[in-house]
Structure 1
């Protein structure tokens, strides 16, 4: 049975494929811009993913939070760095971000669990 992490990634990929198959120039350019924005540049990828995590939390997008958590995890972000980043998101976004912090921590623990098996 696929894990929550696997289900999220499979669903995201399936729907992204469908969206991109629509051959909409604007959507394709937005996807491309997103991909290029998070590549190594003057800021390391790890930093960019943490910035994406803060923005996603403040905007309260759980799918975006999960995406940036997983990418940050894969780029060597520690749990402590993630929690410090989420503390900034809660400071900026206010207490309404706390439920997203709960979900973020739960997802992070799933990432840790999957990578220790």
Structure 2
């Protein structure tokens, strides 16, 4: 399952380099605003990442879901917290979010598995 994480990360990095390498001012500014929005502020980073995850699930963007799951994982969000996030996303987004929740659970498990594998080789 770690291939799921590694493949996503490699693809994202490769494509972001191409996009930012285009030197398009608008795209660079959008990327910059996105980075700035998720920095520590009145809301902690963890809260912002959970909000990003709910929004991504409701908008049904699997790439965004994976990104925010990784960030939530880095912020130490627990399994219980992540499933509450999933529940809010499904409440707001409706049953059409269920397939995205399935993939989100798969990715969350992969993140946990990768860490467990790295700790206990």
TM-score range, shorter chain: over 0.9
Q: CA deviation at 1:4?
A: 1.1
Q: Structure 1, residues 54-81: CA drift from partner, whole Å, max 9, x if none? A: 0000000000000000010011001110
* Higher RCO, Cα 8 Å, sep 6+: 2
TM-score between both structures, scaled by the size of structure 2 = 0.94
Q: In the alignment, which residue of structure 2 is the partner of 1:73?
A: 73
Q: In the alignment, which residue of structure 2 is the partner of 1:13?
A: 13
Q: C-alpha separation between the residues in 1 aligned to 2:11 and 2:62?
A: 14
Residue-pair matches, total: 116
Q: C-alpha separation between the residues in 1 aligned to 2:79 and 2:63?
A: 19
Q: In the alignment, which residue of structure 2 is the partner of 1:52?
A: 52
Aligned ranges 1:1-117 → 2 under 5 Å: 3-117=3-117
Q: C-alpha separation between the residues in 1 aligned to 2:108 and 2:38?
A: 20
RMSD over aligned Cα, in angstroms?
A: 0.7
- Structure 2, unaligned stretches of length 5 or more? none
Q: Structure 1, residues 2-42: CA drift from partner, whole Å, max 9, x if none? A: 71101100100000000000000000000000000000111
Q: C-alpha separation between the residues in 2 aligned to 1:90 and 1:22?
A: 37
Structure 1 runs (4+) greater than 6 angstroms displaced: none
> 2:23 aligns to what SS in structure 1?
coil
